[in-house]
Amino acid sequence: MKISIIGTGTVGRTLASKLIELGHEVFMGTRNVSEKLATTEKDNYGNPPFSDWYKANSKVRLETFSKAAYFGEIIINATHGGSSIEALRLAEAKNLSGKILIDISNPLDFSKGMPPSLLPGLNNTNSLGEEIQKTFPYSLVVKTLNTMWCGLMVNPGMIGGGDHINYISGNDIAARTKVKNLLRQIGWKDENLIDLGDITAARATESLLLIWLRLQGLLQTGAFSFRIVK
């Protein structure tokens, strides 16, 4: 399948490598292709230059946001939450229309100190997932994978025999089902995919970052997640 990832940070790269390994055709979108490839320094988040990774992952095709979105049958938003809407606008609604748009980002606000809070207007009674759905009404937004470290997204079996929660929400049932199929391919067990229904559930899953970040500080690792006990 042709899958396009909007964003070239660690999360996007991690997903891209896994999707290539699974045999998918992967496009990655960035603001400016030549600038991205010319950069030889680490980015603001300490990631090694994209070009190094790109050489080692030569099956991935780097394109502009807009072209990447155009090529993809499924689009994954892997940008930082604070710039997701802007990046998706650059990807252009026409290229996202009628397609599944998997949103794995979180609306983290680093401006008020650490640990970050959630961005004003995108929490409690709203969410980034909903905001993306409202902004791109002809896309089928499915929120998933946003409650864990990217290493676990593509390798759930790394901890607890793979038995930990991955929440899914989105307004379109068929889209949720297709995303579940993709997640099963990646290695997620069906019984750990918790379908919360419509996209308003993103309010709940995005707010899990508040406890996740505290626990990451306490456990000194991102390689943890949650299981439901009942």
**Binding residues vs a copy of itself (CB under 8 A):** 112, 117-118, 123-125, 159-160, 163-164, 167, 194, 196, 201, 203-205, 207-208, 210-211, 213-215, 218-219, 221, 223-230
Please, what is the minimum distance in Å from the beta carbon of residue 24 to a copy of itself? 27
CB nearer to a copy of itself: give 45 or 112. Answer: 112
CB nearer to a copy of itself: give 177 or 221. Answer: 221
Cβ count within 10 A of residue 219: 10
CB nearer to a copy of itself: give 10 or 123. Answer: 123
Token digits for 161? Answer: 């025999």
Please, what is the minimum distance in Å from the beta carbon of residue 4 to a copy of itself? 29
Kindly list the distances between the CA atom of residue 73 and the CA atoms of 1, 6, 99, 147, in Å, as whole numbers in the listed order. 7, 13, 6, 24
How far apart are the C-alpha atoms of 111 and 99, rounded to whole Å? 33
Gyration radius of the chain's alpha carbons: 17
Please, what is the minimum distance in Å from the beta carbon of residue 211 to a copy of itself? 4
Of 227, 210, 222, 96, the residue nearest 153 (C-alpha): 222
Q: What is the pairing mode between strands 166-170 and 100-103?
A: unpaired
CB nearer to a copy of itself: give 36 or 203. Answer: 203
Please, what is the minimum distance in Å from the beta carbon of residue 10 to a copy of itself? 20
Give phi and psi for 74, each to the nearest 5. -120, 140
